[in-house]
């Protein structure tokens, strides 16, 4: 038993040591990968996410969240067992993309707007891939078909709602009486924006948003390098006996594993594989979009660590999101002629 514990404690340090060694061995290609990661962050992530981060920070100083709570309480409570204020995380999570939903869920918890259990439910289904990425990057640029992007967006949102409904039972026994126990003292202590403190509020919002976007940039660069290392060591060779036994093509397995590590690289690789049944590519892409990958998981974990929320519901929720999205995509392709893309 002691030996097992020691082996487990050595796994992460060993991975870190190997990472450092591979950085030196493949320094030239890693430098190129890091540059590409920085370019991706500067040209795509900052323009698409930074304004949303600032906007959500600014809105936290207004009564918009409370207004949404009153408007959407009749829908959020029966469907997701979350008070109406959670609609803000749900809506922004759908229209903005990773990891805005998680950031808002943590903000709602830190401000005591929602209970711990409610925010963990929100964490499970409000952190989603944005329509710009699904429709534009994946549909139009990678697959070269806007209809595929539209299909993936529909199934992504349906899967998100399905996960939310499933998680309405998450720790339901712990929060039966917590719905109407909002901490009014904490809520009232939040300073509201006005002409007297407008500059201070904008400054704080930008500072907080910069901190988050820099954190995301670091993850993008590191995982760009990790992807480069995995390709260099040809990791798929170690899995070929298993893949041959299961009759899974190595190029599909490699692309899927890359997608589990980092979704953009993985989906790009999957979309470029020539298969007679392109529906397989689309279904795998739907799963990866819902799952998010390890890179997104660690980004969310870094945000969640600043609150008392557990990361467990997020991990379970994203796995379910991927499963639901893949199933819905398969059903849409099988049932509706407009989505039958197979040659």
Question: What's the first-to-final CA gap in the chain, in angstroms?
Answer: 55
11 in a structural domain: no
Q: Using omega within 30 degrees of 0 as the cis cutoff, is the peptide bond preceding 25 cis?
A: no
Q: Which domain holds residue 99?
A: 17-339
Show the low-confidence residues of the chain (pLDDT under 50). 176-189
Domain count along the chain: 1
| pLDDT of 240 | 79
Compute how many other C-beta atoms are within 10 angstroms of the C-beta atom of residue 310. 15
State the DSSP code for 276: S
Cα 189 off chain centre by: 31
Give how far Cα 208 sits from Cα of 55, 63, 257, Å.
Answer: 11, 20, 33
Alpha-carbon distances, residue 207 vs 8, 54, 105, 233 (angstroms): 38, 9, 19, 40
Q: Is 29 among the domain residues?
A: yes
Query: pTM of the prediction?
Result: 0.84
Per-residue confidence (pLDDT) for residue 285, from 0 to 100:
95
Comparing C-alpha atoms, which of 100, 64, 61, 65 is closest to residue 82? Answer: 65
Q: Return the closest-CA partner of residue 79 out of 167, 179, 174.
A: 167
pLDDT for 284: 94
Look at residue 1 and tell me if it is in a domain: no
* Rounded Cα–Cα distance for residues 84 and 18 (Å): 47
- What pLDDT does 192 receive? 64
Predicted pLDDT of residue 266: 87
CA angle 55, 61, 66 (to 5 degrees): 100
SS3 state at 140: helix
pLDDT of residue 178: 46
Alpha-carbon distances, residue 134 vs 210, 224, 267 (angstroms): 25, 20, 11
Beta carbons within 8 Å of 204's beta carbon, 6+ residues apart = 57
Please check whether residue 2 lies inside any domain of the structure.
no
In a domain, 258, yes or no: yes
Q: Tell me whether residue 3 is in a domain.
A: no
Question: What gap in Å lies between CA 68 and CA 313, rounded to an integer?
Answer: 24
Give the pLDDT score at 156: 96
Q: Is 322 exposed, middle or buried (0-12, 13-18, 19+ CB in 10 A)?
A: buried
Residues 44, 50, 53, 56, Cα dihedral to 10°: -100
| Residue-level pLDDT at 177 | 44
> 10 lies in a domain?
no
Task: Give the C-alpha distances (Å, rounded to integers) separating 105 from 13, 19, 26, 88, 179.
Answer: 32, 33, 39, 9, 16
* Residue 22 tokens, joined: 């591979």
Query: Do the domain assignments include residue 7?
Result: no
Separation of alpha carbons 67 and 71, rounded Å:
6
Q: Which helix (H) or strand (E) holds 234?
A: none
pLDDT of residue 179: 44
């Amino acid at each position: 038993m002691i030996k097992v514990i020691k082996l487990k404690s050595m796994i992460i340090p060993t991975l870190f040591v190997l990472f450092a060694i591979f950085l030196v061995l493949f320094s030239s290609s890693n430098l190129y990968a890091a540059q590409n990661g920085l370019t991706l962050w500067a040209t795509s992530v900052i323009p698409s996410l930074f304004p949303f981060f600032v906007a959500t920070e600014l809105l936290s100083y207004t009564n918009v969240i409370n207004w949404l709570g009153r408007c959407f309480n009749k829908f959020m409570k029966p469907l997701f067992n979350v008070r109406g204020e959670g609609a803000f995380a749900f809506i922004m999570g759908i229209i903005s993309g990773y990891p805005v939903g998680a950031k808002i869920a943590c903000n709602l918890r830190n401000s005591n707007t929602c209970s711990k259990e409610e925010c963990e439910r929100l964490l499970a289904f409000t952190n989603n891939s944005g329509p710009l990425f699904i429709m534009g990057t994946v549909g139009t640029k990678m697959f070269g078909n806007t209809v595929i992007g539209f299909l993936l967006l529909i199934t992504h949102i349906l899967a998100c709602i399905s996960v939310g409904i499933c998680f309405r039972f998450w720790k339901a026994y712990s929060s039966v009486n917590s719905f109407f126990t909002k901490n009014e003292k904490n809520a009232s202590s939040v300073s509201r924006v006005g002409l007297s403190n407008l500059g201070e509020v904008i400054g704080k919002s930008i500072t907080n948003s910069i901190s988050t976007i820099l954190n995301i940039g670091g993850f993008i660069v590191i995982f760009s390098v990790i992807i480069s290392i995995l390709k260099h060591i040809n990791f798929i060779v170690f899995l070929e006996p298993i893949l041959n036994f299961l009759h899974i093509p190595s190029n599909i397995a490699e692309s899927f594993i890359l997608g589990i590590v980092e979704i953009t690289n993985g989906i790009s690789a999957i979309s470029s594989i020539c298969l007679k049944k392109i529906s397989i590519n689309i279904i795998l892409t739907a799963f990866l979009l819902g799952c998010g990958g390890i890179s997104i998981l660690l980004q969310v974990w870094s945000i969640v660590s600043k609150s008392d929320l557990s990361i467990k519901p997020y991990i379970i929720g994203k796995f379910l999101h991927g499963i639901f999205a893949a199933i819905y995509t398969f059903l849409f392709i099988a049932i509706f002629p407009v989505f039958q893309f197979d040659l």
